[in-house]
Structure 1
Amino acid sequence: MTHTPTSVSTGATPLSSTPRSTVRRGHKRSRTDRAALYDVLDSCLICHLGLVRNGAPVVLPTVYGRLDDVLYLHGSTGAASLIAAADGAPVSVAVTRLDGIVYARSVFHHSMNYASAVVHGTASPVTEPAAKREALRVVTEHVAPGSWEHARLPTRKELAATAVLALPLDEASVKLRSGPPNDDDPDVAGHEGWAGVLPLRRHWDAPQPCPLLADGTPVPPHVAGRDLP
């Protein structure tokens, strides 16, 4: 099965709950608007791809990219997990953004402020050359914006050695937590220790040039001016 990246969505269509995408624990933190799903996926760089292989669960971290309502994953054509997914094994992709640690008055109510998304479905291999190149552009520009125009593009041999999967965002759940601790009233009244949130701030450090670069090679704007997603 070959996938062509043609899915388009405005983000206005709500997420449709299914038995495996329905948030049960902490359901008040779930979100059903598709824009919230896009926000989580677009604000993170690493996902975890999960599937069952040879009767055992396998979970692998990998980079990804989103185009409209399709999530693209890539790896070596020899990767057993990608081969299994391309052959139709059901997959799950999880993405989490940590925004802070919540310090409560009780250990029980310690928590995290976060945004998370879980996508379920069956991935399709992207094999048509133009579609495959476009999918790799999406992944590259998500992780390292500006690189597709700056670096050498994949050769035919490199494309042949790279497997690309397309996972539709038809079945997904989103869960968020924000704000202060949710302490019990007796703890609020009787505990004098500090409680609150320690926010997590993310930033890029100064670029570190490759030692093989010629002296004086400038850092390109798409690296020097990089913003977090």
Structure 2
Amino acid sequence: MKTPRPDFPTGRAFWQRMASLEDECARKSLRSGSKQVEAIVDGLGTVVSLLYRTACCYWGCHGREHVFEYLAGRTCTSALGSYRLIGFGYYDESLALSRNISEIGNLMQLFFSDAAHIRKWIDSSEKERRHDYSPAAVRKTIEALDGVVPTDKDHYAWLCEVGTHVNPSTLPGAHNDERRPILGSIFQTQGHETSVRALAWAVCTVAGPLAKLAILERQHANELLEQTLSLVELLPDEP
């Protein structure tokens, strides 16, 4: 005879149960990182803090177009969401947001490589932007300028496969040696470390060029650049 299973929660009770599991996962996430990962989290918090202040004109408003401030803001909100999802054990979903940040990072690198693209991107129609500034088009344009693509084709494809685009072999939350699918809310060391590093790299790809392109007082621009470079030094060669 099969042992009867307890009633599975539904309705509002389901959300409450999941929130309880997420909170427990978050507590484990805070105390389970390696020293290297802890250092990355600290550095990431500093860089995102600087981007946040850039986005909301914390140091004063220059009164001109706020395109770079808005891009910094989108990066911040995506980074905050991504990090929160890491704490709750939703690593795939975190990587999906890091992918979005990486698209901004590549676009920022293009602007840094050829400033003429800033105005062209702003003034293009929606149809033109989708054609000329799609993720693939941006990567190809950077390569044509002999520039370095921060999030290259292979890394971007990995972010898409794990975090965004489903396929017949998709395994949700399988960040463990056994490749067991896990529906979030459970701490996994591999998922935690992989997601933190991916998020940190994506944020750096935005923050580095932004420090040079945004209208900031030199001391704030230098601090953003220095903190970004310090964070990059903590990351492995392959993001």
- TM-score, normalization: structure 1? 0.26
- Give the number of the structure with larger relative contact order, counting CA–CA contacts within 8 Å between residues 6 or more apart: 2
**Structure with greater strand share of residues:** 1
